[in-house]
Chain A
Amino acid sequence: MRHRAIAGLLAALLASTAFAAESGKDIVFNRSQGNCLACHGLPTQPDAEQTGNSGPPLIAMQARFPDKAVMRAKIWDAGASNPETIMPPIGKHQVLTEEEIDKVVDFLYGL
């Protein structure tokens, strides 16, 4: 009984940690995951501090990318559409998993 309670508590903790780690915003902000803020500003996100300026600010993404798949493709391998870009190929080089990229895309598309 007691073991089951502890196991349940652990499962709940793990689930909450996993949930926190898996939000699109967290992946974008996390330095060891997306670390998108290293290069991109997020002007509509007041908690996006110390953002870099080597890439364009991430704002009005729906207007800039009417086709969401085009934006996803940019993140997956920006070099495919622009060989000059210095943006890392986030999907092609497995910086993030496909699932993580989907979450990032959903988050960014709301900006």
Chain B
Amino acid sequence: MKKCLVAMAGVGLLLGAVCANATPEDDRLKLVAYFKNKYPDIKVEVSIHGALAFDPDAMSQYRSIMEFPPFLDQLDKGEKLWKTPLKSGKSYADCLPNGGKQIAGNYPQYDEARAKVVTLEDVLNECRKANGEEPYAYGDPKTMGLLDAYMRTLSDGMRMNIRVEGTGALKAYEDGKKTFYSRSGQLNFSCGSCHVVAAGNRLRSEILSPLLGQATHWPVFRGGDTLVTLQKRYEGCHRSTRHEPDKAGSARYNNLEYFHAYMSNGLEMKAAVYRK
């Protein structure tokens, strides 16, 4: 007996039967089919560019800005943070698999031993703590943001590769999915209201980016120089839709990122990009 989540009824019907016992891969394939049907002219691979995929002029502006990005000095600062040895003498590269290269697509991961989702930023903070440093505030663009922006460039070109295996992992994924599709707040929007149902439409003059591919290009530099990490964006999205935002790094946001990233599985990643 399939048990559908009532909270998802709104977008659920559009996506076909989104049921609690659908596997993450079922969810992803349904989403891909939904966008293919909604926008047959936009290739799935192009959806990594978010709203830009719907606007050729904005895409060409993006390409010219990315030839000489205005945020290169910030990436340099991030590189310096990355390369500066921690108090123990060890480096971040020592804490991460493969020296931190081509790994971002494997995060978030579900940690069985600790029974929780671990983001790549969690691993950086754990590395700091293990090597005599204070953890960074997750949402701080001057520390975690810069470090994150540089470190993730080491995974450019990698394809998203999130795994959801085991009951604990599935529970965390379902929790993230529920956060994404549950309608709440004064405006009664879910994340899916704008990024699934209305994706590709304009909100005032801004095109709403689709869920598919959305998690592949972070952090972004909005306006060319304002660094925004993925979970900082969750905060902003929640605020502007009159929800109660969490702080970046909360368990709810980590689960949301787990689901969100899974939906982009197989798509190419690129860090530190320009966005409007």
Contact = CB atoms under 8 A, between A and B. Distances in A.
Interface of A: 37-39, 50-54, 79, 83-84, 86, 88-89, 93-95
Contacts of A83: 9-10
Given A88-B189, A89-B188, A54 B203 contact: yes
Contact of B198 (A37, A50, A86): A86
Interface of B: 9-10, 13-14, 186-189, 193-194, 197-198, 201-205, 208
Contacts of B187: 88, 93, 95
A84 B202 contact: no
Contact of A93 (B186, B197, B198): B186
A31 to B, nearest CB: 8
Contacts of A38: 203-204
A86 B186 contact: no
Given A93-B186, A93-B187, A95-B187, A86 B197 contact: yes
A54 B202 contact: yes
Contacts of A84: 10, 13-14
14 contacts: A38-B203, A39-B198, A52-B205, A53-B201, A54-B194, A54-B202, A54-B208, A84-B10, A84-B13, A86-B193, A86-B194, A86-B197, A89-B188, A94-B186
Given A54-B198, A54-B208, A86 B203 contact: no
Contact of B204 (A50, A79, A88): A50
Contacts of A53: 201-202
B201 A79 contact: no
Nearest to B208: A54
B204 A51 contact: yes
B186 A88 contact: yes
Contacts of B198: 39, 54, 86
Contacts of B197: 86
B204 A52 contact: yes
B185 to A, nearest CB: 8
